Amino acid sequence: MVANITITNRTKSFAIRIIKACSFLDEASSVCRTLSKQLLRSGTSIGANVREAQSAQSEKDFINKLEIALKEARETQYWLEILIESELVDKQKFQLLLQEANEIGKILVASTKKLKYK
């Protein structure tokens, strides 16, 4: 059960972008700092769970880890939407992060569906 290297690299790159965004947020208001902690936790957890799936003990365990990564991707989407819609951040800068979170989510949905129904 070898995880797709593309999703592994993509989620790692996404985590790095999230870390940089959160560093920016930490310099802003206390509300931004609080939301930053939530975003940092969920945004970096996606890749960690994808990476952990590579060491899954069974196909069921592999799918479970990918589903956890999907939940974290959806939570990350939520925090990004909150930051954008509350106008706490520049929409253009954070819209690309939201777009990538959405794409990663779609990849994880497709991957888990494919594995479940094969």
113: domain range? 7-117
pLDDT at 5: 58
Question: What is the domain count for the chain?
Answer: 1
15 within a domain of the structure (yes/no): yes
SS (H, E, C) 59-118: HHHHHHHHHHHHHHHHHHHHHHHHHHHCCCCCHHHHHHHHHHHHHHHHHHHHHHHHHHCC
39 within a domain of the structure (yes/no): yes
CATH for 89? 1.20.1440.60
Say if residue 51's pLDDT is above 50.
yes
Element spanning 12, H or E:
helix 5-26
1 within a domain of the structure (yes/no): no
DSSP-based three-state secondary structure for 57:
coil
81 within a domain of the structure (yes/no): yes
**pLDDT, tens only, 2-41:** 444 589 999 999 999 999 999 999 888 889 999 999 999 9
73 within a domain of the structure (yes/no): yes
Q: What is the mean pLDDT of the segment spanning 63-82? A: 97
**pLDDT, tens only, 78-90:** 999 999 999 999 8
Say if residue 62's pLDDT is above 70.
yes
2 within a domain of the structure (yes/no): no
Element spanning 8, H or E:
helix 5-26
pTM of the model: 0.90
